[in-house]
Structure 1
Amino acid sequence: SFACPYITGIVALMLEARPDLTPFQIKTILYAIAKRNEEAATSAAG
């Protein structure tokens, strides 16, 4: 999956702007802004 490099970049930008964020805060923010992919449940790719 190419998701890891994207998330790593997002977290790096978050920490650049707010170096005081804890891992828990970062996880909470990522979960809050995430969108559910409804197609993933029906996709046969893989």
Structure 2
Amino acid sequence: TQKELADRIGTKQSAISRLENDDYNPSVEFLDKVAHALGKKLEIRFN
């Protein structure tokens, strides 16, 4: 759930909701925390 993810990364549930609704401009650090909490690795590529 949003609450569980928020708890894992130390943020509020509302931040996760805003991220999902494209109403938030997250930092790379925040996205990295989300990725790690989901067992993924954040990769940024420029082509």
TM over 0.5: no
- Comparing both chains, which one has the higher relative contact order based on Cα–Cα distances under 8 Å and sequence gaps of 6 or more? 2
Greater helix fraction, Structure 1 or Structure 2: 1
Larger Rg: 1
- Name the TM tier (shorter chain): 0.3 to 0.5
